[in-house]
Chain A
Amino acid sequence: EVQLLESGGGLVQPGGSLRLSCAASGFTFSSYAMSWVRQAPGKGLEWVSSIRGSDSSTYYADSVKGRFTISRDNSKNTLYLQMNSLRAEDTAVYYCAKARPPGANPLDYWGQGTLVTVSS
């Protein structure tokens, strides 16, 4: 059974940093692209970033480019999102999700999400 478990969310001040983790199990993690998608309170879904399994190529939304870094540790079956220079508008539930092959999307399995709140 595929399982994705996010952690690392919490309250952070504007300008601060946070690192999210997503522990994966139930599939061959290194073979699949993974993504982060966020949802601000009461709003719709926003794609944040993706990383391929094959060559770890990365892709970012313009809204986070230069501030967020996606990475993966295939030996630990874990996906990461390093978030720097956080802003109030980054407040959201952050979901990690597994791609349905062969590409980096669509997303066929999702974690339950971790809440990031950026506020002073």
Chain B
Amino acid sequence: EIVLTQSPATLSLSPGERATLSCRASQSVSTYLAWYQQKPGQAPRLLIYDASNRATGIPARFSGSGSGTDFTLTISSLEPEDFAVYYCQQRSNWPITFGQGTRLEIK
């Protein structure tokens, strides 16, 4: 099973700042990595697929990069609605696995 490790566990930033979230895989997943956003009481929402492609309707301030084992989700300038939990997910190998999540909170 491929283990995804996200860091940091919690990130405290202010609106307007840049956020950088990391996801590291225990073995290569090529670019088969996705990022999701989840707000309290809501279902997850797909942000990025295949490492760097924005999903439909996702604002341009969200971007993804990386390949192999190291990936980054960047939010260029935080909006109030961006404070949430973010998960990475790999689809390179079965079983599908998620990272443990990064909580992005308002400083």
Contact = CB atoms under 8 A, between A and B. Distances in A.
Contacts of B60: none
A100 to B, nearest CB: 6
Given A46-B98, A59-B94, A105-B89, A113 B56 contact: no
B91 A106 contact: yes
Counting chain B CB atoms within 10 Å of each CB, the highest count among A60, A104, A105 belongs to A105
Interface bracket on B: 20 to 34
Interface in B10-32: none
Given A108-B55, A110-B44, A113-B43, A44 B91 contact: no
A61 interface: yes
B59 to A, nearest CB: 16
A62 B46 CA distance: 24
A112 interface: yes
Interface string A49-73: 0100000000111100000000000
A45 interface: yes
A2 to B, nearest CB: 10
A47 B96 contact: yes
The binding surface of chain B is classed by DSSP as loop
B97 interface: yes
Interface residues of A, number: 23
B45 interface: yes
B100 interface: yes
A50 B87 CA distance: 19
B91 A103 contact: yes
A27 B46 CA distance: 17
Contacts of A108: 46, 49, 55-56
A75 to B, nearest CB: 26
Given A105-B96, A110-B45, A113-B43, 8 more contacts: A45-B36, A45-B38, A45-B89, A45-B101, A46-B98, A50-B96, A59-B96, A110-B44
